[in-house]
Amino acid sequence: MRVAVIDYGTGNLGSMLRALEELGAQPFLATTPAQLAGAARLILPGVGSFSDCMAALTEGGWIAPLHRSVEEDRAPLLGVCVGMQLLADRGTEGANTADGTEGLGFIPGRVEHLRQHGCSARLPHVGWNAIHPAGAADPLLAGIPEGTNFYFVHSYAMHPDHPEDVIATAMHDVPFAAAVRRGHVWGTQFHPEKSSRAGFRLLRNFLERGAPC
């Protein structure tokens, strides 16, 4: 299975490629939007600020091809960390206006600093934290029990407009969305590629069960 890991100039992508290889997929770094065509799965990573990532995606001409792949070609998409946050309508990190920077809009909602939601614990939220599946059982979380630890590193969190889009939560003084899903677009605030065996299981689910519905 060909899996495009979208490379728009951000962070450590090697671990994601290696993890997908270990799972038997054929991952590749998509460095131009044209390479998205024909990919069976898309992975959108991200580190840095929401606004910088959106600027890089815009500059690289990724936005329309991404929508085309997801909406017309029906390719399942997984956003990871800031890559999950970018799935929202808007994000305030690094934005010039109080209203925030426009996101990809796959999942209606906003991305805001955890302090804005009453978190008084140390930030960034760094380390291994338990996730709690929410709502109906989701194929992405098959075989992953309540309380499984995943590796997080972030200070912002997504707040989907529709509570049913949250498929797992985690607690860092306040509850926040740890994983989201709308149709065949998924996002994880944590890093499956850095979450050892639990992360491998989740990625395997995305490859095997993340079919368009």
Partner 1 sequence: MLTTRIIPTLLWKEFGLIKGAGFDSWRRVGPVLPAIRVYNQREVDELILLDITAQETGDDPDYESIAEYGQDCFVPLTYGGGVRNIEQVKRLLRAGADKVSVNTAAYESPSLVTRIAQRHGSQCVVASIDVRQTAPAQWTCFSHAGSRDTGRDAIAWARELEDRGAGEILITSIERDGTFEGYDLPLVSAVADAVTIPVIASGGAGNYQHMVDVIMQAGASAVAAASIFHFTELTPAGAKQALEAAGIPVRKPFVDAPAT
Q: Which is nearer to partner 1, 96 or 122 (CB)?
A: 122
Backbone angles phi, psi at 34, to 5 degrees: -60, -25
The binder of partner 1 chosen from 14, 24, 61, 135 (CB under 8 A): 14
Asked whether position 178 contacts partner 1 by CB under 8 A, the answer is no
Q: Is the N-terminal amide bond of 124 cis, ω within 30° of 0?
A: yes
Q: Is residue 150 a contact partner of residue 191, using CB atoms and an 8 Å limit?
A: yes
Q: Is 213 a catalytic residue?
A: no
Q: Is residue 203 a contact partner of residue 22, using CB atoms and an 8 Å limit?
A: no
The minimum distance between CB 127 and partner 1, in angstroms, equals 5
Q: Is residue 50 a contact partner of residue 82, using CB atoms and an 8 Å limit?
A: yes
Site string for partner 1, 182-211 (x = CB under 8 A): ---------x-xxxxxxxxx--x-------
Stretch that binds partner 1, among 59-67, 72-80, 84-92, 128-136 (CB under 8 A): 128-136
The binder of partner 1 chosen from 19, 30, 77, 134 (CB under 8 A): 19
The binder of partner 1 chosen from 85, 92, 148, 169 (CB under 8 A): 148
Q: Which is nearer to partner 1, 142 or 211 (CB)?
A: 142
| DSSP per-residue codes, 116-166 | GGT--S-SSEEEEEE-EE-SS--GGGTT--TT-EEEEEESEEEEESSGGGE
Q: Which is nearer to partner 1, 52 or 73 (CB)?
A: 52
Asked whether position 154 contacts partner 1 by CB under 8 A, the answer is yes
- Tokens 């329309």 correspond to what residue? 64
Q: Is residue 46 a contact partner of residue 85, using CB atoms and an 8 Å limit?
A: yes
Q: Which of 53, 81, 125, 154 is catalytic?
A: 81
Hey, which bits of 57-134 come out as E strands?
77-80, 90-91, 101-102, 109-113, 125-130, 132-133
Asked whether position 174 contacts partner 1 by CB under 8 A, the answer is no
The amino acid present at 31, given as its one-letter code, is: T
Q: Is 193 a catalytic residue?
A: yes
Rounded Cα distance, 165 and 18, in Å: 29
The minimum distance between CB 17 and partner 1, in angstroms, equals 10
Q: Is 125 a catalytic residue?
A: no
Which positions lie near partner 1, rule CB under 8 A? 10-15, 18-19, 47-49, 52, 82, 121-130, 142-144, 147-149, 151-155, 171-172, 191, 193-201, 204
Active site residues: 81, 191, 193
